[in-house]
Amino acid sequence: MRLKSRSHFSSIILAAGISKRMYSKTPKILYKILGKPMIQFVTDTAKECGSSEIIVVVGKNFKEVQTVLGNGIKYAIQDPPLGTGDAAKKGIAIASNPHILILYGDVPLLKKDTIQMMIENHFNKGAHLSVLTCRVNNPTGYGRIVRDENRNFLKIVEHSDATDEELKINEINTGIYFGKREEIVRVLEKITPQNRQKEFYLTDIVHKLISERRKVIGFEIKNEEEILGVNTKFDLTRIREILKRNWFEELMKKGVYIEDPATTTIDLTVKIGKFVQIRPFTLIEGNTTINDNEIVGPFVWIKDGEKMVKGLKDPLKEK
């Protein structure tokens, strides 16, 4: 899908969070998933969906993030972290395009096609702000999307404020937004923090625009895998498995035979030729190229083209 010229937009990627639940000194957005830093999935998607400017909002992790992503993008610093609304404000302050897409550095599975369809729908409907929504199996903890009988967007109700009827709604707010820069900036200037932490949140701009009778619409998707975020190492493992499944499916459609996906890991950076057979208990990492017709494994570890482990003992045969 080619977006129209009217859709020139900047992507603001919020990545300044402290990540306390990861229990790690490494910022969660820099954790590698199949050889690729998490934040890079998001910046790549932003580029692929047509963003002409990418701004990553960082905190104390600025230097580490810049080392990974380089100088091809812009950086805005949020320190101290004062909520998603404040983070977006920092990013938008240095944005140069008339429209803004807000993404998250810890949501790596969102597809470019989804973003492009949301943006196209935004312009077709003449909206001031579009909210990406999703139907999920378990909406506990998420803000619910309340619509009228004609499916028009009415409001977002936080889980703690929802009535019994509203709690039955399984369409949730993903926190991903697209809208006019001037509208978002104007509303952000009017919002004040309403909690002890003096933080304010992006949902506040939705509520404010609705109160002003601006056109806010929801663009609904049904694949909840796309909007999964990483808060813990368990979440990281779950997302890794989804990416691995999709990656292996792509490889096997091209003729690669992976005998045992459960015991095999192949980085996304690996290049594999035609008619390759990958045997069980094989790990292939980094900048490695596997030529056509090769058989790799079993019990082998290859990193950056070099065999790290020539052969591991089969534990079942040791007994």
Among the listed residues 300, 140, 313, 134, the one whose alpha carbon sits nearest the alpha carbon of residue 225: 134
DSSP state at residue 4 = P
Specify whether the CB–CB gap between 39 and 156 falls below 8 A: no
Q: Rounded to 5 degrees, what angle do the CA atoms 274, 277, 281 make?
A: 140
Q: 6, 21, 147, 214: which one is catalytic? A: 21
* 289 exposure class (CB count in 10 Å sphere: 0-12, 13-18, 19+): exposed
- Structure token digits, residue 133: 């929504």
67: part of which helix (H) or strand (E)? helix 62-69
Q: How far apart are CA 60 and CA 161, in angstroms?
A: 33
Q: CA-CA distance, 53 to 70, in Å (whole number)?
A: 14
Q: Which residues pair with 103 in a beta bridge?
A: 13
What residues does 90 pair with on adjacent strands?
none
Which run of H or E residues covers position 101?
A: strand 99-104
Residue 279: active-site member: no
Active site residues: 21
